[in-house]
Amino acid sequence: MARDSIGIGKVLGINVEAHWTLIFLLLISLLIPIIFLFLILVFVSVFFHELSHSVTAIKSGRRVSRILLTPLGGASVLDDINIDPRTEFRISIVGPIANFVMAGFSAIVLVFTPLGAITTAVQLFFLINVLLGVSNILPIFPLDGSRIFRSYLQQTRSKFDATMVTVKLSKALLGITLVSALVFVALPLGYTPTYRLIVLVWSVFIVVLLWGGTRAEQDAAVIRKEAEGLNVKGAIRKRFIYAAPEKRLSSLYASIIDANEHIVITKLGNTFCMAEINRTRMRKDVALVKDLAVPVPTFAESVNAVDALASMEARDSSVAVIVKAGKPVGILTVSHLQAFISLHLLAKKERATSHLRG
């Protein structure tokens, strides 16, 4: 469960993490102060955007495991993958609203701020939030607008059909964007070649990025439909070690050797955790199982296999615990669950092919 992100604090009980590439980018940008200021303002805006998603999700009865900030934006990671359309609409729409509110606040501040460095920073903050707000109401996956639009379509369609319609619209809008950029570069509008090249490269980068997000959403929807009714029961592993949080690591080591098993599950309060044994090499202050405990997702045997995998991947967790009557009865691993789903889809495809031949 080694993560590529680093915890930077907690806000309203929500863990906030930054991907290492973002931290690296900020450190490099210190060489150019104006770039550093711009990036800080961008990620302050992104943070409050994601915080609004998280707070709304919590108020809607959903659990939020973390807010993740990356060089390409941010994400509020919810424990629950299946969200009803009304809740998805509320969670999605508050992000752009938060940006428009911050832009409005910036505009008010500008009225009363004398010219100077602070004014420049506030102007940048205003423009950043206007751009984030406008871009996030576009119905293009994986932007908020796509989920707003999909939740609206679900009033008369299934989630799968609503997703497919939104995917088609996303691809159409991305195609229009790319064609528009090419037309802009081709027409003699008086802009310098360098400026036109920058516009083209930036447009292609955005289109490729969002196209990838759209394809990922399409593939996930298709897999979820094909694996409908497939629960995790057949993928559960029964071999694991369940250790008390106060158990000493020296004693745990003997249990691992005897059982020939390295996955150790424990429980802190009401939260099931996995003991990350490899952390003992990096920390010298660990003596008990609870010192290595990291929370992991928990599921019932009846949960859909694709939903379980999506939840584990969203939380960056390689292990999940299967719970029955409050007790751990098995575990799931990402690699095993991926293989289980893939084999199911292959078998289903082979049966369909055999049926057509017959």
Express each pLDDT in 1-48 by its tens digit: 446 788 888 888 888 999 889 899 999 999 998 889 999 999 999 999
- The full 3-state SS of 28-66, as one line of letters, equals HHCCCHHHHHHHHHHHHHHHHHHHHHHHHHHHCCCCEEE
CB 294: neighbour CB atoms within 10 A?
A: 15
Task: Tell me the CA distances in angstroms from 335 to 236, 264, 339, one per residue in order.
Answer: 12, 17, 6
SS3 state of residue 219: helix
Q: Are 163 and 218 in contact (CB under 8 A)?
A: yes
SS3 state of residue 188: coil
How much of the chain, in percent, has pLDDT values that exceed 70? 94
Most confident option among 70-84, 105-119, 277-291, 295-309? 295-309
| 93-119: pLDDT as tens digits | 999 999 999 999 999 988 887 766 688
Per-residue confidence band for 196, with pLDDT thresholds at 50, 70 and 90:
confident
How far apart, in whole angstroms, are the C-alpha atoms of residue 44 and residue 46?
5
**What tokens appear for 205 in the block?**
């980068």
- Residue 257, C-beta contacts closer than 8 angstroms, at least 6 positions apart: none
pLDDT of residue 5: 80
What mean pLDDT is predicted for residues 166-185?
Answer: 94
Task: Provide the phi-psi class of 226: left if phi over 0, else alpha when psi is between -120 and 50, else beta.
Answer: alpha
What mean pLDDT is predicted for residues 64-73?
Answer: 88
How far apart, in whole angstroms, are the C-alpha atoms of residue 25 and residue 40?
11
User: Judging by beta carbons within 10 Å of its beta carbon (0-12, 13-18, 19+), is residue 281 exposed, middle or buried?
Assistant: exposed
Alpha helices in 187-333 (DSSP H): 193-226, 249-259, 305-314
Distance, C-alpha 10 to centroid of its chain: 17
SS3 state of residue 242: strand
User: Diameter of the chain by CA atoms?
Assistant: 80
pLDDT of residue 79: 77
For residue 282, pLDDT over 70 is answered with no
How far apart, in whole angstroms, are the C-alpha atoms of residue 288 and residue 291?
5
Q: What is the mean pLDDT of the chain?
A: 88
| 120-149: pLDDT as tens digits | 888 999 999 999 999 999 999 999 999 999
Task: Tell me the CA distances in angstroms from 21 to 4, 17, 126, one per residue in order.
Answer: 9, 12, 25
pLDDT of residue 2: 46
pLDDT of residue 321: 93
Positive or negative, the CA dihedral 61, 227, 172, 193 is positive
Instruction: Specify the DSSP class assigned to residue 113.
Output: P
Picking from 204, 97, 225, the residue whose alpha carbon sits closest to that of residue 159 is 225
Helices (H) and strands (E) in the chain, counts: 10, 11
What mean pLDDT is predicted for residues 175-195?
Answer: 88
**What tokens appear for 149 in the block?**
């639009």
For residue 168, pLDDT over 70 is answered with yes
Task: Tell me the CA distances in angstroms from 198 to 38, 120, 130, 195, one per residue in order.
Answer: 19, 24, 21, 5
| 210-269: pLDDT as tens digits | 999 999 999 989 988 888 889 998 899 888 988 888 988 888 888 888 888 888 999 998
SS3 state of residue 114: coil
pLDDT of residue 1: 46
How far apart, in whole angstroms, are the C-alpha atoms of residue 255 and residue 243?
9
Task: Tell me the CA distances in angstroms from 200 to 41, 148, 184, 189, one per residue in order.
Answer: 25, 29, 8, 14
pLDDT of residue 179: 95
Q: Provide φ and ψ at 189, rounded to 5°.
A: -100, 5
- Residue 189, C-beta contacts closer than 8 angstroms, at least 6 positions apart: none
- In residues, how long is the chain? 358
Q: What is the pTM of this model?
A: 0.81
How far apart, in whole angstroms, are the C-alpha atoms of residue 143 and residue 220?
16
The dihedral over CA atoms of 245, 249, 253, 255, expressed in degrees to the nearest 10, equals: -30
How much of the chain, in percent, has pLDDT values that exceed 90? 46
